Amino acid sequence: MPDNFVPEITSPLRQKMVLVPEVIHQKASGIKVYGKLIKSLVFTTDIALIRNTNAHAVLAVYPFTPQPVITHALMMAADIPVFCGVGGGLTQGKRVVNLALDAEFSGAMGVVVNAPTANDIIKKIRATIDIPIVVTIVSEKEDIKGRVEAGATILNISGAQKTPDLVKRVKDICPDIPIIATGGPTEETILKTIEAGANAISYTPPTNAEIFSEIMDKYRKERE
């Protein structure tokens, strides 16, 4: 038996899983948060997906005003660490700070703020909570050094096709800052992002509807 053999346990009812691309777990260095090594984050708020994935953590950011009831539901259902969105785009000011504190009290491993969040708000969050602050970066024109100085613990790079270049830019400015980045649609783009300096990769899974479509097609064929 090889030294790197890893026993795997599954069951008849838990075989349908959303698996992140293996290259992430093979090549990414990961980010160790409170002793837990995180290389992959599934980008979703779908509880069913969260309960059926091999990702190391959840990046729970959504395009609506953050609500504590959503945070509480995610924390109750998730069996892996959750990095929870607390606003910074539509939601600003003291409300962001309060949402971040509520997320910490609910059990979040970290909070995520959107790109428009002002540095003074990041400073207030840092002075209020103990868990990591993940700040989203979408352009090389952003005040990257200022974000880190304000209290960002991790940077979340989301630059579409330019993500690898943006990761390199961030590493040039702040070489020690941990980076989560979107990996793109293929193993090749994921590997390119990791080689650029990303420590962990966020993976966008297929939707519930897409997965169900495959299952329903199978059921139909079995009955033809």
In a 13 Å sphere around the CA of 35, the CA atoms on its Cβ side amount to 0
Instruction: Report if residue 2 sits inside a domain.
Output: no
The domain total for the chain is 1
Check residues 66 and 15 and name the one with the higher pLDDT. 66
189-216 pLDDT, tens per residue? 999 999 999 999 999 998 888 888 877 8
Q: Phi/psi at 128 (nearest 5 deg)?
A: -105, -40
Instruction: Report if residue 3 sits inside a domain.
Output: no
Write the CA distances from 174 to 74, 148, 149, 153, integer angstroms. 32, 8, 10, 12
Instruction: Report if residue 5 sits inside a domain.
Output: no
If pLDDT is split at 50, 70 and 90, which confidence band does 93 have? Answer: confident
Instruction: Report if residue 36 sits inside a domain.
Output: yes
CATH number at residue 129: 3.20.20.60
Residue 185 is predicted with a pLDDT of: 86
| pTM, full prediction | 0.92
Instruction: Report if residue 63 sits inside a domain.
Output: yes
Residue 89 is predicted with a pLDDT of: 76
- Three-state secondary structure call for residue 82: strand
Instruction: Report if residue 6 sits inside a domain.
Output: no
Query: What average pLDDT does range 22-35 have in this prediction?
Result: 97
Report the chain's mean pLDDT, rounded to a whole number: 93
Percent of the chain's residues with pLDDT above 90: 79
Instruction: Report if residue 9 sits inside a domain.
Output: no
Check residues 85 and 222 and name the one with the higher pLDDT. 85
Residue 2 is predicted with a pLDDT of: 67
Within the chain, how many helices (H) and strands (E) appear? 9, 10
C-alpha–C-alpha distance, residues 50 and 48, integer Å:
5
Instruction: Report if residue 8 sits inside a domain.
Output: no
Residue 1 has pLDDT above 70, yes or no: no
C-alpha–C-alpha distance, residues 28 and 169, integer Å:
18
77-87 pLDDT, tens per residue? 999 999 999 99
122-180 pLDDT, tens per residue? 999 999 999 999 999 999 889 999 999 999 999 999 999 999 999 999 999 999 999 99
Give residue 57's domain range: 22-222
- Three-state secondary structure call for residue 143: coil
